[in-house]
Structure 1
Amino acid sequence: MGCDGGTIPKRDELVRTKKKPEQKDKDSELSYRWRHCNITQQPLQKPIVACHLGRLYSKLSVIEALLDRSQLPETARHIRNLKDIKELKLTPNPAFQDGAEKGDGYVDRQSAPYICPVIGLEMNGKFKFSFIWGCGCVMSERSLKEIKTKVCHKCQKPFAEEDVVILNAADEDLNLMQTRMEARQARLRLEKKVKKTAIKQEIEEEGSDVAKTEEIKNVPLKTEPLDKPSVSKQATKTLKGGQGDKRPSDSKIENPDFKKAKGSYSVAKDPQATEVFKSLFTTSQKAQDQTRAHWITYNPFYN
């Protein structure tokens, strides 16, 4: 069997044992999950989005996968449209230095590009992070537990407990996110149904108002005769029989100015005209007493 020459065999060389499965580096695995898209397995690119289950994606990758659903992995089949994802409002880490990894250099897996805006924890997978579905703000779970409130710490918008989504949830947290997703979708469907019902009722009310207006327009107006003044029987007989005081038909009221337009009118006979005004016309007494015609002008050679 050998063992000559001073060689000392080890136990694993002599005894065959079952090989243990290779263990993954937990830090590297967490760093990969928090920095890579769940669809394309490529590094996350802004804008970064998350689904109801808390998985991270690049928005461009989600759009491309929705256009060609064959690219969607089994873990993202629940995404049917862009309403099933939410764009995240992340807080950048000022101490993070992004650069190419060198083969002989140390890579700090604990450093993360984003932090909690409340207590400053780095989003590297060591601590639980959550986001609010209504506004998309991301913060650590510790900040939500330490500062219990019903408004967002970052944008001050109100939210409910069901709106909190845990990022990269696993095991029990994943089941909880599944339950919250179903409850949230049921609530959205109910709100949509109520909104449609309200719009339908409003349209029906407007239609009934229009119909009433048309009916009012089509109703014929009844014109009642005005009350005639009461006339006594004696007056009626007088009007019909021609009795009583009645003006003759030939004595009509005429305008005195119309008399001047008639051919029988003469200014010389008008009692209201002055003598100066009458002298302007040939019919005046002064014009008739002249020895020469009115058309002869004065000329010293002829007089």
Structure 2
Amino acid sequence: MGGDGQALANKRSLLQKSRVYVTAADLELRQAKEKTTLKSRTIERWSNCALSLQPLEAPAAFDTAGDVFSKQSVINYLLDQKEHSDCAAEVEKSKPAIRKLTDVKEIANEVGSDGSICCPITGYSTTSGVHSFVGFWGCGHVISASTISVSQDLKSQIDVECPFCGLLSFYVCLVCDDTDTAESQRKFLRHYSKMFRKRPREGDLDFASESASKKQ
């Protein structure tokens, strides 16, 4: 019996060392690390331009995939693509799908010196890493997702009033957790973003008209 007990103890020790045996404490520690990593990644993405990877500067902008940029970096990127059109196809593989300046929406909120953007309703900061935000394409306001009813159904993002200014448009979920979600959103909202390339008033009328016809 004594020998059997020692054998079991040795086996447990070997399992712990090989990381096959996972205790509740190990699991909690792992989950805490993953949560901290996700938070750090979110803060990093909100604090830096998705194109230049440099600190976010005003004026800032976002695209339909939910990435956030310094607008000047977008301009520089487009100019560079125009000058080096020969390798544009290769660049497209590693850069966001931005071909025109109208593919991004300038953020109406003020951008802090540290790259932070605060929701004008809740006061939540984008660089806290704990809150989710959406951007309204019609007005450019970045709002805390807690102020609206957010659904996983992409169609629910269409024909929504900005809770801050009341302008009807669609919203973009910003800084998505994974690339698949961001890409699905970009493809779905591509058509609607084109409607706002006209003058604001015309765009609003076209958008409202099409939204109404889709509901019928």
What TM-score bracket applies, with the shorter chain setting the length?
Answer: 0.5 to 0.7
User: Which secondary structure state, in structure 2, belongs to the residue aligned with residue 131 of structure 1?
Assistant: strand
Q: Which has the higher contact order (CA 8 A, sep 6+)?
A: 2
Instruction: State the 1:74 CA deviation.
Output: 3.4
User: What is the rounded CA distance, in whole Å, between the counterparts of 2:135 and 2:18 in structure 1?
Assistant: 51
Aligned residue for 1:154, secondary structure, equals: coil
Answering whether residue 98 of structure 2 is matched by residue 79 of structure 1, we say yes
Cα deviation for residue 28 of structure 1 reads 2.1
Matched, 1:167 2:174: yes
Superimposed CA distance per residue, residues 227-249 of structure 1 (whole angstroms, 9 cap, x where no aligned partner): xxxxxxxxxxxxxxxxxxxxxxx
Taking a change above 3 Å as real, the CA distance of residues 186 and 51 of structure 1, as seen in their structure-2 partners, is closer
- In the alignment, what sits opposite 1:119? 122
Q: What residue number does 1:294 align with?
A: none
The structural deviation recorded for 1:181 is 2.0
Change (3 A) 1:152 1:185: closer
Gapped regions of structure 1 (runs ≥ 5)? 1-10, 99-111, 196-303
Q: Percent identity?
A: 26
TM-score, normalised via structure 2 length = 0.58
Among 45, 58, 80, the residue aligned to 1:68: 80
Q: TM-score by structure 1 length?
A: 0.43
Following superposition, the deviation at residue 26 of structure 1 comes to: 2.8
| Equivalent position of 1:136 in the other structure | 140
Q: Which structure is higher in strand share?
A: 2
Q: Structure 2 unaligned runs (5+)?
A: 1-12, 21-32, 82-87, 151-158, 203-216
> Deviation string for 1:214-233 (max 9, x for gaps)?
xxxxxxxxxxxxxxxxxxxx
What value does the CA root-mean-square deviation take over the aligned residues? 3.8
What SS does the aligned partner of 1:116 have?
Answer: coil
Q: Does 1:180 align with 2:184?
A: no
Displacement of 1:178 in angstroms is 2.5
Give 1:94-109 correspondences, 5 Å limit.
none
- State how far apart, in whole Å, the 1-side matches of 2:92 and 2:183 are: 19
Distance 1:151 1:181, change over 3 A: closer
